[in-house]
Structure 1
Amino acid sequence: MRYFVTGGTGFIGAYLVRDLLQAGHEVTIFELAPQQEFLDEIVGAAGEASIVRGDVTDLAALLHAMKGAGAERVVHLASLLTDSSEENPLRAVRVNLEGTLHAFEAALAVGAQKVVWASSIAAFGRGPDELGGTVRNDDYHAPVNLYGASKAFLERCTATYRRDRGLDVVGLRFTIVYGYGKSFTVQRGSAVTHLEELIDKPALGQPGLVTNGDDVQDFSYVEDCARAIVLAAEAADTPSLALTVTGDDVRVGDVADMVRELLPDARIEVRSDAPMRIRAGYDREGTEREIGFRPAWTLREGLASTIGKLRARHGLPPI
């Protein structure tokens, strides 16, 4: 199968490309600024993907690349993240909204069988503490930032492209995704800088400061997220417009305790400077039912893998 992946050298994208190559698929990456070193590190000996430099805001270039690749399945991961969207709303509209619709249009033009795109729990805006229970897959969207608003809008566009254009397309809402390489998303404007303080810095022997220790969050390991994309790409006619990819619901302070168990010398200061927020409790039954996804990695396994890779990269002893 010929896959076309926008953002394929990014955090989740690189793991996805590795998995696709290992499964014997052909992969073409469309990327504005390829992170070749990170891609090579993650992919290893799994194979080699073709890389086309381009901007998803340029429909002609995207369509040309997709035609050249003979794309049969399209995965759209290119996006401005939370803080970057707030800092540059016009760019957020062009990249997140127009860029995603360009991917839809190009996929239609080349006759792609399936499109999977990256949505986010930010589309919901509210957590179960505000909704009085589990956040259902079809719960009402009330985003609180531009990034979430863009994802909510695109989920409605997904309905239109299905109904009126006949495109087999589904969004995957990711939660708090962690793993080796997450620091790249922080550089691109991710709003989850606490993960560096919680995982990366302690792994490298540096002190970490976490100020939201009482928050409860859904932690999803990056390799599970990549596998969910593959499952969604292989599933035909999923009933839902978007599905939430979940991991482990856990208090942030408890994650710090788990890191300390793996790294007894870790120096992590945990505070609770603001009222507790819950970003967990998302419905996972629909995702399992429609694409067969369940997390394969426990939180402890994911943390150990992340810390081990970080330490290896910096020449530090294994845990």
Structure 2
Amino acid sequence: MTTSPSDMPARGVLVAGGRGFVGSHVVRALVRSGYRPVLFGPAMAEDRLADLSGLYDEVEGSIEDREALAAAFGRFGPELVVSCVAHGVGRLGLMRSGEAEADAAFAVNVSGHGKLIDAACAAGVSRIVWTSSTVVYGPAFDYGDARVDEDDRSAPTTVYGLTKQMAEALSAFQARRHGIDIVGLRLPLILGHGLWYQGAASAIADVFAAAQGGRETRVAFHDRPVDLMHVADVADAVLAVLGHAGRLEPVYNLKGFEASVSELIAEVRRLKPESRITLDRVEPALLFPLIDGSRLAAATGFVARHDLGGLVRSLLVPELEHAHD
């Protein structure tokens, strides 16, 4: 199904995966900034953008389909592209989906990513911004105590991490080959409204669901500090990169804030003292190193708006966040 083209601003933007968790927040940020996005991707069971009906155009298709991509670019002529695409299996998280269906993960995350770049280059797109992941790094113990930056080696130990590492290499190759800006943002664990799949982030999100519902819950998680980020800040970072004047590096770490689950629970209890949440501490199956995000901040001025307190307010008592805007 394809909607008819509408009058777009001078710089239109195609959003691959625009109906997903991160992608839908990117679409919202684009609309607020005056763009009329073109969503490209498969149909989704849940409509996270119903309230924006009429403010975007849409083409249903797969980034594995060159003809569908070419048709979308030919019809709408976007000058910019955002890709939030990653292979998922039902409600499994992205890492578990990679392990469950490795062939499909490579087909979407690597080959499909390359086809999207090919179509964008053929259409004369000037910049592509896409979501990579901090899982391109190896286990935390391989890096010592320092925060890792973009010069530290990638050493993934998961299929999902490997597909993102390969997509980064492919993006850098295509950028050199075609003279196009292709910028990957390495996302940490992302939390926010609309998180629907299972994984490490959803386990943390259960803390908020329990507090909101007034029910007692036990959360099994390790208590080491991890990098967390509000999904709205991801969208802000994407827009900052899209609108940046001048060339950028091929990949950046995207930094939100660091916190342990016990710190997060303590902040939830501060706002909801009646919360009944117990942390069952377990050893992490895989712990990633903490990241240094200063390079993106230096290049674009981007700094995440949400710290731990801001994220908890947003998810638990959103009216408090609005009161502090």
Residues 1:250 and 1:261: Cα distance change in structure 2 (over 3 Å) = same
**For residue 98 of structure 1, what is the aligned residue in structure 2?**
111
Matched letter for residue 32 of structure 2: Q
Secondary structure in 2 aligned to 1:149?
helix
Residues 1:279 and 1:191: Cα distance change in structure 2 (over 3 Å) = same
Secondary structure in 2 aligned to 1:193?
helix
**For residue 175 of structure 2, what is the aligned residue in structure 1?**
162
Structure 2 residue 17 is the aligned partner of structure 1 residue 12 = no
TM-superposed deviation, 1:84: 1.0
1:168·1:236 contact (CA, 8 Å) conserved in 2?
no
Secondary structure in 2 aligned to 1:131?
coil
Secondary structure in 2 aligned to 1:118?
strand
Whole-angstrom CA distance in 2 between matches of 1:193 and 1:118: 19
Structure 2 residue 42 is the aligned partner of structure 1 residue 32 = yes
Equivalences for residues 264-283 of structure 1 within 5 A: 264-274=273-283, 279=288, 281-283=290-292
**For residue 196 of structure 1, what is the aligned residue in structure 2?**
205
2:139·2:286 contact (CA, 8 Å) conserved in 1?
no
**For residue 122 of structure 2, what is the aligned residue in structure 1?**
109
Q: How many equivalent residue pairs?
A: 303
**Equivalent residue for 1:127, pick from 140, 143, 155:** 140
Structure 2 residue 192 is the aligned partner of structure 1 residue 185 = no
TM-superposed deviation, 1:131: 3.1
1:30·1:53 contact (CA, 8 Å) conserved in 2?
yes
2:19·2:41 contact (CA, 8 Å) conserved in 1?
yes
Whole-angstrom CA distance in 2 between matches of 1:76 and 1:260: 37
Secondary structure in 2 aligned to 1:156?
helix
Whole-angstrom CA distance in 1 between matches of 2:284 and 2:29: 40
TM-superposed deviation, 1:277: 6.6
Secondary structure in 2 aligned to 1:37?
coil
1:216·1:280 contact (CA, 8 Å) conserved in 2?
no
**For residue 2 of structure 1, what is the aligned residue in structure 2?**
12
Residues 1:275 and 1:201: Cα distance change in structure 2 (over 3 Å) = same
Q: TM-score, with normalisation over the residues of structure 1? A: 0.88
1:216·1:279 contact (CA, 8 Å) conserved in 2?
no
TM-superposed deviation, 1:222: 0.8
Equivalences for residues 211-230 of structure 1 within 5 A: 211-230=220-239
**Equivalent residue for 2:241, pick from 225, 232, 243:** 232
Matched letter for residue 174 of structure 2: Y
RMSD: 2.1
Secondary structure in 1 aligned to 2:184?
strand
TM-superposed deviation, 1:35: 5.3
Residues 1:275 and 1:102: Cα distance change in structure 2 (over 3 Å) = closer
Structure 2 residue 316 is the aligned partner of structure 1 residue 304 = no
**For residue 73 of structure 2, what is the aligned residue in structure 1?**
66
Q: Which moved more, 1:201-210 or 1:161-170?
A: 201-210
TM-superposed deviation, 1:4: 0.2
1:85·1:147 contact (CA, 8 Å) conserved in 2?
yes
Matched letter for residue 71 of structure 1: P
1:180·1:307 contact (CA, 8 Å) conserved in 2?
no
5+ residue gaps, structure 1: 311-319
Q: TM-score, with normalisation over the residues of structure 2? A: 0.87
Report the identity percentage. 28
TM-superposed deviation, 1:192: 3.0
**Equivalent residue for 1:22, pick from 17, 32, 42:** 32
1:7·1:29 contact (CA, 8 Å) conserved in 2?
yes
**For residue 7 of structure 2, what is the aligned residue in structure 1?**
none
**Equivalent residue for 2:216, pick from 202, 207, 211:** 207
**Equivalent residue for 1:49, pick from 41, 44, 56:** 56
**For residue 4 of structure 2, what is the aligned residue in structure 1?**
none
**Equivalent residue for 1:142, pick from 155, 169, 172:** 155
**For residue 3 of structure 2, what is the aligned residue in structure 1?**
none
Whole-angstrom CA distance in 2 between matches of 1:192 and 1:50: 30
Whole-angstrom CA distance in 1 between matches of 2:306 and 2:145: 28
Whole-angstrom CA distance in 1 between matches of 2:21 and 2:64: 20
Structure 2 residue 116 is the aligned partner of structure 1 residue 118 = no
TM-superposed deviation, 1:309: 5.8
Whole-angstrom CA distance in 1 between matches of 2:247 and 2:209: 36
Residues 1:173 and 1:71: Cα distance change in structure 2 (over 3 Å) = same
CA deviation map 1:61-103 (0-9, x unaligned)? 1121122111110001111221111111111111111111111
Matched letter for residue 290 of structure 1: A
Secondary structure in 1 aligned to 2:37?
strand
TM-superposed deviation, 1:278: 5.2
TM-superposed deviation, 1:201: 2.9
Q: Which moved more, 1:244-253 or 1:30-39?
A: 30-39
